[in-house]
Amino acid sequence: MTWWLILSSGMVFLLTMLFIGVPIFVAFLILNVFGVLYLIGPAGFGMFANSIYATATTSELAAVPLFILMGELLFRSGAMEVLLNSLDRLVGQIRGRQYILCVVLSAVVGALSGAAMAVAGLLGRSLYPTMRKRGYDMHLSTGTILGGASLDPIIPPSVLAIIIASLAKVSTGQMLIAGFLPGLLLTILFLIYVLVRVRLNPALAPDISSELLDPATRGSVLMALLRMVPVGLIFFLVIGLIILGVATPTEAAATGVFGAVLLSWYYGGLNRRMITESIYSGVTVAGLLLAVMACATMFSQLLTFSGAIRELGQFIIHLELSGPLMLFIMLMVPFLLFMFLDQVSVLMVLIPIYQPILGIYGFDPIWFWTLILITATVGGITPPFGYTLYAFKSAVPDISAKDLFRSSWPFVWLIMFGMLIMAIFPSIITFLPKLMINP
């Protein structure tokens, strides 16, 4: 069987299994069993043990359950309510202030959780009803929440960034830090967009005088800043220690968990039930990811053994496509797949296929994989099948699919415009990773 037939057959089989709802690790496991039997025979099953061992002993993956645990502790501690009230006070007397609050809050929460679907559901339940009650436009309110939620897997610490770094064999620390400036750029684009929209059409937001009657908008600015200091300290413990080279991502994640426990105690939310539920959530998610990645490692080894990866590289060289065109194709394929499939499953399939192409075209790995990370987030809010859309709809069941899709499109285009800027100016992504003392 020729290399392209092996590769295409495996891809079609895998994507079909995922489309019909088969769990990710089960789909990979079935494909791996058939692949081993066809390419190697029963003697090749020893590769499974090697794949599991190689995945389980990857030290960078220890940061995944720790970051998940940190986010769970912070969400359950009451810190989010304090953060929301403080930011509401700091936004100031600006028409459309709740739009701004939504985007800024999403960016800050992104530094604490990194889960777009969770934040879309959280803000859909908490902030969206308040915005609608105050007279904010339904479509722009929904759009800002969806756009803001899409920032969360980009802004460090990001579990998805750690997974990409582990699979692509790049520095986890650099991959985490690389998302900071892109997340900031997208935040600024969102803020500019909502301010311009409100300026051109004041009916999209209520009069500022009516909002200032709300107790949350009053109080001391200094006290609001002081209330945010503990959360800011958590952010420094995680990101600052990585940038300064004081700690590895895993060590920084462990420090962040310790800080989250102290913060939970400070806010009065620390109890046995909260800790038990947080640990259970972290262990469950991390265990599933470990099983998926072990099967994906085996899949990558089979592709290499079959010679499909080597032949694909030769095929790409003979096409003689320009760098920009190849980059566009490599980003468009996952963009379409992320609309239908889970982020992790798509990355498991594409990363081993994309790896040799990066070397052929000389793409900076950190720059390219960060663009892929952003592509994964925008796919989640792209109609008609973006999974973040339906996480929001589950929190706001009375919104129609038509209104949901109409709300998300402007922010899809904004993110894609931001990606174009990052593609033209790669230093937006690579600047901070190059400053790291111990990458």
Q: Is residue 10 part of a domain?
A: no
In a domain, 11, yes or no: no
Q: Please give the distance of CA 305 from its chain centroid, rounded to a whole number.
A: 31
Q: Is the pTM of this model over 0.85?
A: no
Q: Is the pLDDT of residue 73 over 60?
A: yes
Residue 9 lies in a domain: no
Mean pLDDT of 86-103: 76
Angle in degrees, CA 184, 185, 190, rounded to 5: 95
pLDDT of residue 185: 95
Q: What percent of the chain has pLDDT over 90?
A: 16
pLDDT in tens, 222-281: 777 777 778 778 877 777 787 777 787 788 888 888 888 888 888 777 888 888 888 887
Q: Answer whether residue 383 is part of any domain.
A: yes
Q: How far apart are CA 362 and CA 242, in angstroms?
A: 27
Say what the pLDDT of residue 240 is. 78
The region of weakest confidence among 113-117, 260-264, 273-277, 362-366 is 113-117
DSSP codes of every residue in 55-77:
HHT-GGGGHHHHHHHHHHHHHHT
Q: What is the pLDDT of residues 41-50, one digit of tens each?
A: 776 777 667 7
Q: What's the whole-number mean pLDDT along residues 421-438?
A: 88
- Tell me the C-alpha distance between 67 and 82, whole Å: 21
Judge whether 361 lies within some domain. yes
Q: Which residue has the higher pLDDT, 407 or 61?
A: 407
Tell me: pLDDT of 434 over 80: yes
pLDDT-based confidence at residue 405 (cuts at 50, 70, 90): confident
Total structural domains within the chain: 1
Q: Are 379 and 339 in contact (CB under 8 A)?
A: yes
pLDDT band at 366 (very low <50, low <70, confident <90, very high): very high
Gap between the Cα atoms of 18 and 28, Å rounded: 9
Amino acid making up residue 299: F
User: Residue 110: what pLDDT?
Assistant: 61
Q: Would you state the pLDDT for residue 428?
A: 95
List the domain range (segments joined by +) for residue 196: 21-435
pLDDT higher for 435 or 364? 364
Cβ proximity of 72 and 280 under 8 Å: no
Confidence of residue 192 (pLDDT cuts 50, 70, 90): very high
Residue 177: pLDDT over 70:
yes
| Lookup: tokens for 419 | 């990606």
Distances (CA, A) of 7 to 22, 319, 395: 20, 18, 40
pLDDT given for residue 37 in this prediction: 80
The pLDDT, as a whole number, for residue 188 is 93
Rounded CA separation 37/370 (Å): 36
Return the pLDDT at 162. Answer: 83
Mean pLDDT score, 296-318: 70
CA angle 241, 246, 251 (to 5 degrees): 70
Alpha-carbon torsion, ordered 123, 128, 130, 132, to 10 deg: 170
> Is residue 2 included in any domain, yes or no?
no
Q: Which residues contact 400 (CB under 8 A, 6 or more apart)?
A: none
How far lies 99's CA from each of 130, 197, 241, 374, in Å?
11, 11, 32, 22
**Assigned token pair, 434:** 């190059």
Closest alpha carbon to 290 in 10, 21, 54? 54
H or E element that contains 7: helix 3-19
Whether 113 is covered by a domain: the verdict is yes
Residue 421 lies in a domain: yes
Counted residue by residue, the chain has a size of 439
More confident residue, 437 or 67: 67
Q: What percent of the chain lies above the pLDDT cut of 70?
A: 82
Q: What is the pLDDT averaged over residues 384-411?
A: 83
Average pLDDT, the chain: 79
User: At 335, is the pLDDT very low, low, confident or very high (cuts 50, 70, 90)?
Assistant: confident
Q: For residue 1, what pLDDT is reported?
A: 57
> Binning pLDDT at 50, 70 and 90, where does residue 140 land?
very high
CA atoms within a 13 Å half-sphere pointing along the CA-CB vector of 428: 18
